[in-house]
Amino acid sequence: MLFLAGTASVGWLFWTGYNISIQTERGPLIAAIWHHVGFGVILTPFLLAYLWVRLSHVLSTQNEWISKLSFGFLSACILFLIISGPIVVWTYGADLKVFDWFVFPNPIGKSPVTHDLLESTHIVVANMTPYVLILDVILLLQKRAFSRLPRRR
């Protein structure tokens, strides 16, 4: 179940992030950004649980370096996004607001240069992550399918 929740979380966050890029007016753009930020905070536990569940599968594989490499890259992408997301908001000079439910105050202050660099990197990594997730899921399903086949001697 955590596997499905984590996979769905990546998809949903990608979709809400994509909605930011298609906004042409300031009001809907700001709403799309805060929608993405709110879901990012709420879904972070599911993403971390997904990585934890997948880690147990990767550790149980033997000599499947491609599976370990794809999972490592996926983990790096997700962890980078989880860490960089709040920092992007904070370096813009804003507090991290989660659907007007609660706020994480800005601990670092405004930093335009850091914000621009980190935001650009966040977007590039976010655009790669769904493809890395798809590869990881394919490799996991392939491992499960082939592990059920009878072995020839």
* Domain ranges across the chain: 2-146
pLDDT in tens, 17-62: 888 888 889 999 999 999 999 999 998 988 888 888 878 776 666 6
**Which backbone phi and psi does 22 adopt, to 5 degrees?**
-95, 0
Are the beta carbons of 132 and 77 closer than 8 angstroms? Answer: yes
Q: What is the pTM of this model?
A: 0.82
pLDDT at 17 (0 to 100): 85
| In the chain, % of residues over pLDDT 90 | 42
Tokens 């798809």 — which residue?
Answer: 134
Q: Could you tell me the pLDDT band of residue 6, with boundaries at 50, 70 and 90?
A: confident
Predicted confidence (pLDDT) at residue 151 exceeds the cutoff of 60: no
Q: Is 19 exposed, middle or buried (0-12, 13-18, 19+ CB in 10 A)?
A: middle
